[in-house]
Structure formats: structure tokens, C-alpha cells
Chain A
């Protein structure tokens, strides 16, 4: 894992984006934050930087309900893209939906590490990032 941790948030909720930015900025590590308003924006970025391991995210926090391309559509593209990616990317699905159908669908996708229900505990999110950082370093 490179020195700089790239954290990516894909969510159309600007307030959520703001809170995440504020919180993650205070993490004491070398990091870069990426924000996208929907799946399509994020996917465009990924395809443009397929082998640019520096720019590609290490971890993605992905919302489900977004305009244009929602979280599940994004994952369909992501699964296809994965073999060509120059980096291992961890994906967490983050949604306020407690629809069992959504949760089942997310669980069926092996590329999704976990399903987090909003409101997320900011402390918990930090833990996830820190743990990933540590496992990458060791």
C-alpha cells in the first residue's frame, strides 16, 4: 500500500459529504479524499485512472440510492473493471435503506466488504480506515 491512503465517498447527499470530509480530515495520517455525487462520476474517474495506483482509492464508501447510477449499478461496473484495476480496493456499502432486499443484494456481491446502515458512527468509520491502513502496512 502506498504511503498516502485514498478514501473515496460516493454519495449524493451534500451534508453527509460535508460531515465525512470534516471527520476524515482530522484523521492523523497521510490521506487523500475523493468525493463523487453519484456512481457514474465515480466510475468515470476509475476508468480514467485504471493503472494510476496513486489516484485510485484504497477504500470506497458507497451509497445505494443516487441519481443516474446507483450503488448497485456502480458495483456491476466495478466487478467488470476489477481485473483491470492496478490496486486492491475495499468497498463498503453505506445506506439509510433498511430494506431487507437491498441488504440481501449487497451481501450477494462478494466485492462488498460490509453493509453499513446510516447514520454511521463516525468513530467506527475511522476504525475501518485505520485498520485497513495497518493491514496494508504490515
Chain B
């Protein structure tokens, strides 16, 4: 119990941190992979451009050989030179980006070695063409260029394919990384919900209920205090008013006697309220596992004479739930109040039968006192039955303190007491721990 509040305090921050980390990591990972894919696309584009350039060179050379010494021959020569430069540069760029394309680029390197050779063949042949004027050797050179360019294109084809394969592999990896991240996030969120939020909500709910309960009890208390003090104080006031008016000594004696009675009542009310306050603030009540039967046997002797006189029959059955974790003093007080209530409000028409039973039903531990006594009209008195100084029968011993104390004791320890009753049939009190 003592370690828990600490853990709860950090739970909130842990949750916040998890969510923030998840959102941030998702963002950065997505960004990283998008960037990689962008770079890959650029490299593949570069390779495409590379092939295009080589084809333009071949085409330009072909045109060139057709024109020989035509008017645009020099121009085409310049053009070819230009294209060659671009091509070489582009090829260098492409090779440069291979390393960053993949860590595992041996295959790419060997492919590039091949392609390099053909590129150099094309370059050399083209350069030779620029100075050679012999028709025959030019033809051979052109064929060489043609041949090497085809090999070059073939090699580039394979390189692009390899690029494609590597890129697809990366996409697959991205997919799986994203999937596992989402899975991890889900697992974290679910466990946060199960182990942090749910207990937190449960605790809040419980606290809220306790607060409402306390509020109701306080409001009850204010009503009780007001009502139960007003009555005797009012009486004393009236009696003293009469006292001041009367000359008769005997009369005065009677009035003083009545004032004393009222004072006693006032003090009894005060005791009851003090007791209930004591119970309510008594958080240190020792809780222990108590056997119902032990409590019953403890309180029974004080009722023996009464039970005998009334020829009452009390039966008990604690087999369903032999013991409970509760305050021993309170439980004894509850048994005393319940038994004396049953005896007090027995029906004059029949002998009292009181049955006390404890059991556990759907996880709820209950103790039930049910009698065949006078019963209470709950429609009329339901709201007031557990209030202080509420009496519902003409009985000289009715003070209306017992049920009030019983309820206070039960509720202080987190329990609940409810009543079912039918006039002239009997009453059942159900205590849920």
C-alpha cells in the first residue's frame, strides 16, 4: 500500500513519455526512409540518364559518319565531345552514389567494373574517330563503338535491375520496421491502459464514491445535529418560559424535572454524535480476520434472559462465509444492535424468529439478519431509517441510535447496509462488506 502512490505518480509521466516517443520516432523513421527512397530514385534516374547519354553519343556518331565533311560536321564533332564529357561526369556521379545506395554493393562494384571497361572502349574509339580519316578504319571504329555501347547498355541494364532489387528490398525492410514499430506501440499502449490507466481510473472512481459518501454523511450529520439539538433545546426554552410565569412551587419542581429530562436527552444526542464522529475519524481501527460465530457467541450472553422471556428463536448459518476482515469492536456492536432491534420490534402476534446468515455471492461478502417482526413501512420511512433519533414504533426503548451507529460503523469501513421489509411480515438487513 505504501509503495503504490509513488508508482502511480510516475505512471502518468511514463504514459506521456511513451506517447511522445512513439509519435517522434514514427516521424523520424518515416522521414529517414522517405529520404532514402528519394536518394534511390535519384540514383536510378541517374542510371537512366546515363543510358540515354550513351545512346545519344552513338546516334551523334552515326549522324557524323553519314555527313563526313558536310557543313555541320564540325558542329556535330563539338556536340559529341560535349556529350562525352557529360557522360563521363554522369558516370562518375553514379559510381559515387553507389556506396550510399547500399552497404552491400560488391555486386554493383563488379557490374560497374564491367561497364567501365565498355565505357572506356567507347570513349577511346570515339576519340580515335575524331582524328582518323581513313574510311576503312573509321568503319571498324564505328562498329567498335556500336559493339561496346551495346555491351555498356547491357551492363547498365543489369545495374539498374540491381538498383531496383536493392530498392525493393529497402521498401520491404521499411515496411517490416514500420509494422513492428506499430506493433510495439500497440503493445505499449495496451499495457499502459491495462496496468496504469485502468487502475488509476478505478482508484479515481473509488475516491469519488468515497467523497460523495462523505458528503452525504456530512449533510446527514448537519441535519441530524440541527434537528436533534433543536427539539430538546426548544423544550428547555418553553419550560423555562413557563417556569418564569408560575408561582406554584410544586409546578416549578415538575418543570425543573422536565428540564433535567430534556438536558439528559440533549446529552445523549451529543454522546451519539460524538461516538459517530469518533467512528468516522477512526481510520486506525484494527482490522482482523474475525469468525462470525465467535462474535455471535460473545454478544449472545447479554441477551440470554431477554431471549428466554420472549421465547425467541435465533438460528445462525455462517458456513457460506465463516469469517470476515473487519473491526472486531464494530462487528460486535453490529451484532448487538441487530439482535436487540429484532427483540425490541418483534411482533406481538408471534414468537420472534431471527435468522443470521453469512455467505459470498458473486464475489460479494454479505451478512444478513432477517426476522419475522413488526416490519417497517419503507415507502414512508425508507429515506430516514438509518438516521439518528428516528423511531418508527411506539416502544419505550426506541432511541433511534442503533441503526445510525451501525450504518456509520459499516460505511466507515467501506461497507454498505440495506434493508428490505414488509409491515407485519418482518425485516431483513443486508450488510455487504
Interface on A for B, CB 8 Å cutoff?
12-13, 15-16, 18-20, 22-23, 26, 37-38, 65, 67-68, 70, 73, 96-99, 117-120, 122
In order of increasing CB-CB distance, the 9 nearest A-B pairs are: A119-B234, A96-B230, A19-B238, A118-B234, A96-B231, A15-B235, A119-B237, A67-B391, A67-B392
Chain B stretch 391-433: residues in CB contact (< 8 A) with chain A: 391-394, 398
- Whole-angstrom distance from the CB of B428 to the nearest CB of chain A? 20
A96 B234 Cβ-Cβ under 8 A: yes
A38 B235 Cβ-Cβ under 8 A: no
With a cutoff of 8 Å between Cβ atoms, the chain A residues found around residue B227 in the complex are 65, 96-99
Report the contact-size class of chain B (Cβ under 8 Å from the partner): 20 to 34
Alpha-carbon distance between A23 and B258 when the two chains are bound, in angstroms: 15
With a cutoff of 8 Å between Cβ atoms, the chain A residues found around residue B262 in the complex are 15
With a cutoff of 8 Å between Cβ atoms, the chain B residues found around residue A97 in the complex are 223, 226-227
16 further A-B pairs in the complex, CB-CB below 8 A; given A15-B235, A19-B235, A23-B241 = A19-B238, A19-B239, A19-B242, A22-B242, A67-B393, A67-B394, A68-B393, A68-B394, A97-B226, A98-B227, A117-B230, A118-B231, A119-B233, A119-B237, A119-B238, A120-B234
9 A-B residue pairs with Cβ-Cβ distance under 8 Å, sorted by A, are A13-B231, A68-B392, A68-B393, A68-B394, A70-B380, A96-B226, A98-B230, A99-B227, A119-B238
- Tell me what chain B mostly uses at the interface: helix, strand, loop, or mixed: helix
Alpha-carbon distance between A60 and B29 when the two chains are bound, in angstroms: 86
- Whole-angstrom distance from the CB of A23 to the nearest CB of chain B? 6
B235 A13 Cβ-Cβ under 8 A: yes
A-B contact count (CB 8 A): 70
Given the interface pairs A118-B230, A119-B237, the reply to whether A15 lies near B258 with Cβ below 8 Å is yes
B261 on the A face (CB < 8 A): yes
- Whole-angstrom distance from the CB of A125 to the nearest CB of chain B? 10
Alpha-carbon distance between A117 and B391 when the two chains are bound, in angstroms: 20
B235 A119 Cβ-Cβ under 8 A: yes
Chain A residue nearest to B254 (CB atoms) is A18
A122 B390 Cβ-Cβ under 8 A: no
With a cutoff of 8 Å between Cβ atoms, the chain B residues found around residue A23 in the complex are 238, 241-242
Alpha-carbon distance between A98 and B261 when the two chains are bound, in angstroms: 23
With a cutoff of 8 Å between Cβ atoms, the chain B residues found around residue A68 in the complex are 392-394
- Whole-angstrom distance from the CB of A62 to the nearest CB of chain B? 15
